[in-house]
Chain A
Amino acid sequence: MAKYITKRVLVSILTLLAILFVLFLMLSLMPGSPFNDEKLNATQKALLYAKYGLDQPFFIRFAKYVAAMVKGDLGFSYVINKNKAVSEMVAGPLMVSIKVGAMGMALGSVLGLLLGIAAALNHNTWVDTLCSIVSIMGVSVPSYVFALLLVYFVGFKMGLIPILYTSKNVAASYIGPMIALAMSPMANVSRFTRSEMIDVLGSDYILLVEAKGVRQNNLIMKHALRNTLIPIITIMGPILVNLLTGSMVVEKVFGVPGIGTLMVTAIQSNDYNVVIACAFIYSALYIVMMLFIDIAYGIIDPRIRVAKEK
């Protein structure tokens, strides 16, 4: 197990480095610069480039950036929050985004599981159809549409949740974004749970368990659900990506000061260091989650761990 985890961690670090390189390259190739304001003249621009070290060759900048990054220094912002350390700028929004994302993910997964189980147990009945409709909607409608619907109906018409994030009532402010973000995980998890559960329930060993006279609650929770979970964990990765990309727009709609909002602002203003930091954080979050999922596999299903160790 230790060897397996070490290998996975090393691969993750290498992947992150490669991502950083691509990010750097893409930003260098992007048209414009943080300093091409209409009001700047050429001499000033050159001096600003020199001041921030942007006049140096690509590889030197990259090497310097990586070296500083290892020490936790993500450089300074050129535009948004000018001259502020990027590491300080992203810390707050990152926590906000993680909170909202984790809540959305948790709510979505739990609801998805319940929906899926309900659909599987009531296979080919109206419950199944209803669950399918809900999950198809969840998969096909992007999260920002849900966000807009929530803002309009629940926020504006009913006045149940704040339309815009407010620091005076953070808890209530999280409800809207959380529900909007939960939709896609809920739909995906419920679809997979349903089909896996149907498969598992039709399998020979469940028949055996039933024949042994195990009570139905026990049968579902202990025998069927556990085997259903494994394939579901595999789809958590892609679900997470969906959630991350969705969070950018959802955060914007609700005015949540998260990393998605920050990243969009940074991209629009060519604030290189902030864009790199945000994109890197997104990638790191994703890779770390994948790592966890890989390790979680091993824990849930000893066969995988053993097979991989061999």
Chain B
Amino acid sequence: MNFRKLTVAALALAMLAGCGSSSAPAAPAESGGADATADTSAETTGGKTLTVAITADLNTMDYHVATDGTSFIMHSMCIGGLTQLDENAQPAPDLAESWDVSEDGTVYTFHLRDGLTWSNGTPLTANDFVYGWQRLVDPELQSEYAFIETAVGVHNASAVFNGELPAEELGVKALDDKTFEVTLDQPCGFMLGLTAFPSFFPLNKEFFEAEGDNFALSINDMIFCGPYVMSGWEAGTEYTFTKNPNYWNAANCGDYADEVVFRFAPDTQSAALAYLQDHTLDVVTLSGELVDQYADTEGYTNRLTGYAWRLEINLNNEALANKNLRKALSLSINRDSIAKDVLKDGSVAAEGFIPKDFAFGPDGKDYRETAGNMVDFDVEAAQKFYADAVAELGGDPTITLLFEDSEASKAVAENIQYMWQSNLPGITINLDSKTKKERLNLMNELNYDIGLTRWGPDYADPQTYMDLYKSDTDGYNKSYFSADYDAILNKAETGEDAADANARWNDMIEAEKIVLEDVALIPVYQNGGAILINPAVSGIQFHNAGVDSYRFVTIAD
């Protein structure tokens, strides 16, 4: 049967051809892909490119409405602030070359550098900062990050945001083109760190108004003033940044990467393989099981993040209203084991509500170092408290532990359940897994018993955490109310200690003691991160409070 042999041969051929020629029909796609790239100059000049994998896509380049880390990182590539963070997370001059602070600490006068310009040639003046700061609290805009200007205590920020006062009444003004003055309601120790944050970046009024609704929706609808300009925006794929020749310090940026590409790689496994394959990706953040799998890979690095995970307790729950029970729960968690045996990604056991390595006191020491360890693992003590609790409650309690359905949260919750049930015989712990959004919703409605949750710092000060449990903190729905806690924080933030950095710092420590003594929450761990970084790359700055910086990256040959 000739035909049979023929078909088999044809089939074999077709299969080969099918694979080999498959690129042919795709060819025309090259021109019709996603959004066009404006410039790939680094390729033509043979410059050095840093490629960073991002697991969350860019949300917006409009730095006054952004809320996510990925977006903030890209903003600080191409826009400059009054200050920028250095490798020690300390504020250093950027667009402002110097500043004066009034004696009472409430008036900051920033002196901008000579000859600052936007990438379109427009001069950059103090008015651009005034306009940017006003826009952040514009009630029309409803920026989710407007609160940060209120937290700093910029004069009238809340009133403007609530629509009670016009934008002109905000405590910012341009004394002249090169002098920008900010008036605060009370001194703010973390002010200069925050001026490096994208929410406080300048905005040119004329350009913005000409753009209207299109502002920051594509690279042609933006102007830049940072060390890089955004030169490619391919939605869902790549975001390219190339050197900005108009940056004030361009002359000294020659050694840094010519091009920085942020590559959206939703699948970490593929991204890690691309890292291994000649460093197609230079920086890949690992998660889940991959952390273990790649721990021996060259370039594996651990970092600590500012995210502090804790168990939030609903004090409206009858059993959990019992302080002895809460103490027993806190004392029976082996935090070290959770960080080192369960997570294994560089996470560390929590020593209190406030994480370490993100806020530094007036003496330059880490907050945690000064405050010391405030949580213990002591099964014997826990069992004593538990016995008291059972007597007071008239029986063993049943509690549901709510957590989100991420790999890490699930592992941590299961281990806590095990620790509680084995260390406190008699207690019943149920697990409840929900999506993150739903978990937040349930917790906000106080429709839970105990929830595993986290908080990341918005600025380098314990206040960013402390305010969560203040009675008058709007919106954050909680079941804990303490007059002592409120009083001491009010004294520190706006009262008699506000101007005294040392007294304020001690107040913060006292406040933390109160909230932990009351066991309004149970600290668990501070999140670590596992990252693969091409060994040839150096100069990436990871900031626990504030935005990671890829501005000063050098790549060895």
A interface list, Cβ under 8 A from B: 31-33, 35-45, 47-48, 51, 79-84, 89, 92-93, 95-96, 99, 103, 106-107, 110-111, 114-115, 117-118, 121-122, 127, 148, 151-152, 155-156, 159, 162-168, 170-172, 174-175, 178-179, 216-217, 220, 252-255, 257-258, 261-262, 264-265, 270
Contact = CB atoms under 8 A, between A and B. Distances in A.
How big is chain B's contact interface, by range? 35 or more
B48 to A, nearest CB: 16
B14 interface: yes
Interface string B257-270: 00000011111011
Contacts of A152: 273
Given A103-B25, A175-B23, A96 B33 contact: yes
B144 A37 contact: yes
Given A164-B270, A255-B270, A265-B266, A80 B57 contact: yes
A170 B59 contact: no
A167 to B, nearest CB: 5
Contact of B60 (A40, A83, A170): A83
Nearest to A117: B7
Contacts of A47: 139, 142
Contacts of A40: 144, 475
Interface in B216-230: 217
A83 B217 contact: yes
A54 to B, nearest CB: 12
B14 A110 contact: yes
Interface in B435-450: 435, 437-438, 440-442, 444
A89 B235 contact: yes
A39 B67 contact: yes
B280 interface: yes
B234 A82 contact: no
B516 interface: no
Main SS of chain A's interface residues?
Answer: helix
15 contacts: A32-B440, A39-B145, A41-B475, A44-B142, A44-B147, A81-B235, A92-B34, A92-B236, A93-B34, A111-B14, A121-B3, A121-B4, A164-B263, A172-B23, A257-B234
Contacts of A151: 269-270, 273
Q: Which 8 A-B pairs have the closest CB atoms?
A: A41-B475, A32-B437, A257-B236, A31-B438, A82-B60, A174-B26, A171-B26, A41-B474
A48 B23 contact: no
B213 A81 contact: no
A172 to B, nearest CB: 6
Contacts of B58: 81
Interface in B1-29: 3-4, 7-8, 10-11, 14-15, 18-19, 22-23, 25-27, 29
Contact of A164 (B29, B274, B437): B274
B438 A41 contact: no
Interface in B26-46: 26-27, 29-30, 32-35, 37, 40
A36 B444 contact: yes
